[in-house]
Structures are given as structure tokens and as C-alpha cells.
């Protein structure tokens, strides 16, 4: 007789992981205490011994996503700072990590900053980003402005990327060619120019716009930081 297979003990972590898996697969609308209970093989009432209600479960799910974002990438050790690593490098790594997490969990894009009771991973992440900016010489107000701008760009890019009518660079030529064929000769000249001389050029990938946009923002923030420092 084969040994009886036992389930791991039920706890908040296991419940959260099940809820995240459901949201990843079917969207946030599919997450309920009942669906999560079914996924972990218990009755819904059993969940309430570990998670107070669905709102508390969402808090845990959001904190789990923040836990996947590489906080250590925005924390400067003394040796790294002494080596002269630009603050932009740390912010770039963090922004890439946020984008990657949101691509894994699209349901989280509109929820990351929505919680009034943030968890420890959320708080550690925000503290690390602000610490990076403050140690780089940003004033308190300028650090807040920079953080808001960076998140607006990353979250907005992820939403735009998810809404595009293609799933990668291989599909772009066919889509662009079809769209161009529907445009009358001489109409929309700048749009046609962009498509034919940029989008349809070999090697084009919309995802590259993320790095370009991120570099543009951090370059502008550095100029603003220096101007602010000069006035103080």
C-alpha cells in the first residue's frame, strides 16, 4: 500500500498562494473565499481561521506581489555607494522588477497602491525606494515626486503593453501591413511614416520603449535634483 499523501498545513501563506494562482489564471473576479477554499481542498469556513475576510485576502495578495519585487536592488550598501553606482541604476532595476511582477500578475496593476492596510513587503519596498532617492540627494518632496512619476510610468506602460493588439514583435509586421493597406494614399502621412520607417524596420520591438522611457525619466529627474540642490 502506498503511503497516504498528506496536504501541507493550512495557513495564510498557502491561502494567499492559491488566491494569487486563481487570479493569474482567471482574473481577480474569480477570487472568492469559496474558490480559494476549493483550491486548497477545504470548506470556505476553514479559511476564516487564517484570513479575516476577502478584503484581508486581497491585502495579502498585493503584499505577495510586492514581495516578488527585488527590494535589494534599490538598497545601496556602503561598498556599492562608495563604488559610485548611480542612483538611476538602482531605480532602473527596481522598475524592471515591478514590470516583470505585473506581467506575471496582470490583475495586480490597479491594486498595488490601493490598500489602506499595506503589508510588510509593501512597506519594505516603499521604504527602500524612498531611501534610495533620499540617499541620492533628493529632498523629501522631490523624492515623493520622483516615486510617483516612476510608478505612473511603469504601471501605465504595463497597461498599454497588455492592451496592444499583438503579442510580441513577430506579429507586428503583419498587423502594421494590414493597417497600412486600409489607409488611403496621402492620408495620415506622419502615421504612415512612423509605421514604414520605424515600426516595420527589422528589429523593432515595442518593449524597447520601456527602457527608453525609463532612461528619459531618470535623466530628467537627475537634472531636476541638481537644480533643486543648487537653489538650496
Q: What is the CATH number of the domain that holds 30?
A: 1.10.10.60
Asked whether the beta carbons of 101 and 65 are under 8 A apart, the reply is yes
Residues 94 and 174 in one domain: no
pLDDT at 125: 94
Residues 117 and 148 in one domain: yes
Separation CA 176–CA 107 (nearest Å):
29
Residues 20 and 120 in one domain: no
pTM: 0.88
**Helix-helix angle 87-104:140-163, to 10 degrees:** 40
Residues 221 and 157 in one domain: yes
Residues 24 and 96 in one domain: no
DSSP state of 8: P
Residues 138 and 226 in one domain: yes
Residues 210 and 111 in one domain: yes
Residues 151 and 192 in one domain: no
Residues 188 and 211 in one domain: no
pLDDT at 78: 42
Residues 137 and 91 in one domain: yes
Task: Read off the C-alpha cell for 29.
Answer: 473576479
Separation CA 155–CA 147 (nearest Å):
12
Instruction: State how many domains the chain has.
Output: 3
Domain that holds residue 224: 52-164+206-231
Residues 109 and 42 in one domain: no
How many angstroms separate the first and last alpha carbons of the chain? 78
pLDDT at 1: 47
pLDDT at 70: 79
Residues 129 and 215 in one domain: yes
Residue 149, domain CATH: 1.10.357.10
How confident is the chain (232 residues) per 10-residue block, as mean pLDDT? 67 98 98 97 96 98 94 51 72 95 96 94 94 94 97 97 91 92 95 94 94 98 94 82
Separation CA 146–CA 126 (nearest Å):
12
Nearest to 76 by CA among 95, 63, 94: 94
Amino acid at each position: 500500500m502506498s503511503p497516504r499523501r498528506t496536504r501541507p498545513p493550512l495557513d495564510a501563506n498557502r491561502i494567499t498562494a492559491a488566491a494569487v494562482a486563481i487570479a493569474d489564471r482567471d482574473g481577480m473576479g474569480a477570487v472568492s473565499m469559496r474558490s480559494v477554499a476549493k483550491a486548497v481542498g477545504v470548506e470556505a469556513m476553514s479559511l476564516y481561521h487564517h484570513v479575516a475576510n476577502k478584503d484581508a485576502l486581497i491585502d495579502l495578495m498585493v503584499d505577495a506581489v510586492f514581495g516578488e519585487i527585488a527590494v535589494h536592488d534599490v538598497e545601496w550598501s556602503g561598498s556599492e555607494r562608495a563604488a559610485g553606482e548611480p542612483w538611476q541604476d538602482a531605480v532602473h532595476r527596481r522598475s524592471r522588477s515591478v514590470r516583470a511582477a505585473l506581467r506575471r500578475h496582470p490583475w495586480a496593476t490597479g491594486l498595488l497602491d490601493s490598500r489602506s492596510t499595506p503589508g510588510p513587503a509593501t512597506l519594505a519596498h516603499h521604504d527602500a525606494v524612498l531611501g534610495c532617492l533620499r540617499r541620492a540627494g533628493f529632498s523629501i518632496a522631490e523624492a515623493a515626486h520622483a516615486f510617483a512619476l516612476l510608478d505612473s510610468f511603469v504601471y501605465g506602460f504595463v497597461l498599454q503593453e497588455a492592451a496592444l493588439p499583438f503579442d510580441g514583435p513577430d506579429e507586428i509586421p503583419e498587423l502594421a501591413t494590414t493597417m497600412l493597406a486600409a489607409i488611403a494614399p496621402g492620408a495620415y502621412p506622419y502615421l504612415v511614416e512612423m509605421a514604414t520607417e520605424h515600426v516595420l524596420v527589422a528589429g523593432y520591438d515595442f518593449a524597447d520603449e520601456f527602457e527608453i522611457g525609463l532612461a528619459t525619466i531618470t535623466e530628467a529627474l537627475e537634472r531636476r535634483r541638481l537644480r533643486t540642490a543648487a537653489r538650496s
